[in-house]
């Protein structure tokens, strides 16, 4: 075959490939070929996978389905997830991402930032600001329904919060780009002590954890709760301007929830559930408060490494 004909043939194939986006999308991830969010599927996923978080499940389900079904949202969806370490904030974000994009957290349209990893040096603030704004702008231009997850939000420099604020607001367009279909998820431990206090009060008065209502958490997640240096100025500055749509409280996990996490991990590793090992792993965890020992101080976070000890063959 002579080179010119081969070149033309290749160009032809390429053009038809590009002009048939649907064909292209069979092989590559496309923004407009995302999964359509199904309420029942999201609910089933949350019910099956996320333990002990009846409040978080409810808020996530309603917030997400409401937002996705709205063809013209006035602002991007902003969820602020709060709670003790290892209680499922990252895990819940993963479930959200998987319900919106097949690739979940690995999708090209889902972006995870970890404050201490991506923005470690306060001296580089100006650079980080520019990069972050360019990154958000570029990605939302390419796909309006992009998801941005900011972990360790309480460790983010206030200047960086200022940099993302314009994207969270009620603007139709910012420099020609509309951010109204994007989703921003902020994760932090801010407010965790107060959330725990509420859960502990319920436990002490013999009431079921599932009886805790969102309104019981309101004082724990109010502006005043965050208006101190430790909790981070970021929060109040976003709340003041009504830029956070939903606060999602994560309750501290109890002994029975740790056991559930161990069982899931055993099954994921292909083992039969051995209740004796489940109990031993859960017993190795540490609990607080000191006297009552109700809540796991690391949530489900370290149960998996403890399991390694029993399966080291």
Select from 208, 140, 230, 153 the least CA-distant residue to 179: 140
Q: Is 299 in the site for ligand ATP (CB under 6 A)?
A: yes
Name the minimum Å distance from CB 222 to ligand ATP.
21
89 binds ligand ATP (CB under 6 A): yes
Per the CB < 8 A criterion, the answer to whether 79 and 245 are in contact is: yes
Judged by CB under 6 A, which stretch of 82-90, 127-135, 138-146, 175-183 contacts ligand ATP? 82-90
- Whether 17 and 24 have beta carbons less than 8 Å apart is answered as yes
Choosing from 53, 139, 196, 231, the residue that interacts with ligand ATP (CB under 6 A) is 53
Say how many CA atoms lie within 13 Å of 180 toward its Cβ.
12
Q: Which of 162, 144, 160 is nearest to 152 (CA)?
A: 160
Residue nearest to ligand ATP (CB): 88
| Cβ-based neighbours of 187, under 8 Å, separated by 6 or more | 81, 89, 90, 93, 149, 150, 151, 152, 153
Q: Does 194 bind ligand ATP (CB under 6 A)?
A: no
- Where residue 151 falls (left for φ over 0; alpha for ψ -120 to 50; beta otherwise) is beta
Encoded one letter per residue, x for contact with ligand ATP by CB under 6 A and - for no contact, window 20-49 reads -----------------------------x
Q: Which of residues 255-274 bind ligand ATP (CB under 6 A)?
A: 261
**What number of chain residues touch ligand ATP (CB under 6 A)?**
20
Per CB under 6 A, 52 contacts ligand ATP:
yes
Binding segment (CB under 6 A) for ligand ATP, from list 89-97, 104-112, 131-139, 202-210: 89-97
How far apart, in whole angstroms, are the C-alpha atoms of residue 230 and residue 155?
A: 10
Residues that bind ligand ATP (CB under 6 A): 49-53, 83, 85-91, 187, 189, 253, 261, 299-301
């Amino acid at each position: 075959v002579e080179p010119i004909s081969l070149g033309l043939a290749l160009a032809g194939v390429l053009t038809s490939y590009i002009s048939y986006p649907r064909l292209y999308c069979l092989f590559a991830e496309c923004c407009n070929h995302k999964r359509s969010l199904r309420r029942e599927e999201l609910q089933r996923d949350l019910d099956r996978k996320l333990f002990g978080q009846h409040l978080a499940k409810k808020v996530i389900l309603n917030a997400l389905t409401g937002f996705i079904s709205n063809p013209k949202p006035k602002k991007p969806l902003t969820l602020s997830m709060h709670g003790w370490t290892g209680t499922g904030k990252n895990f819940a974000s993963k479930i959200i991402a998987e319900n919106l994009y097949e690739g979940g957290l690995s999708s090209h349209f889902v972006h995870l930032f970890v404050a201490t990893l991506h923005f470690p040096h306060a001296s580089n603030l100006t650079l980080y600001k520019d990069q972050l704004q360019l990154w958000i702008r570029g990605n939302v231009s390419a796909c309006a329904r992009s998801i941005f997850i900011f972990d360790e939000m309480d460790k983010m420099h206030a200047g960086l919060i200022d940099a993302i604020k314009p994207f969270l607001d009620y603007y139709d367009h910012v420099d020609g780009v509309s951010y109204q279909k994007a989703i921003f998820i902020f994760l932090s431990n801010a407010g965790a002590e107060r959330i725990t206090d509420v859960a502990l009060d319920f436990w002490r008065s013999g009431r079921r954890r599932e009886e805790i209502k969102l309104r019981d958490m309101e004082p724990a997640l109010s502006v005043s709760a965050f208006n101190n240096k430790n909790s981070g100025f970021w929060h109040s500055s976003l709340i003041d301007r009504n830029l956070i749509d939903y606060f999602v409280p994560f309750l501290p996990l109890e002994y029975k929830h740790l056991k559930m996490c161990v069982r899931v991990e055993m099954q994921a590793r292909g083992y039969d559930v051995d209740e004796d090992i489940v109990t031993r792993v859960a017993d190795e965890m540490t609990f607080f408060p000191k006297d009552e020992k109700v809540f796991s101080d690391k949530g489900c976070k370290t149960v998996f490494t403890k399991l390694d000890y029993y399966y080291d063959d």
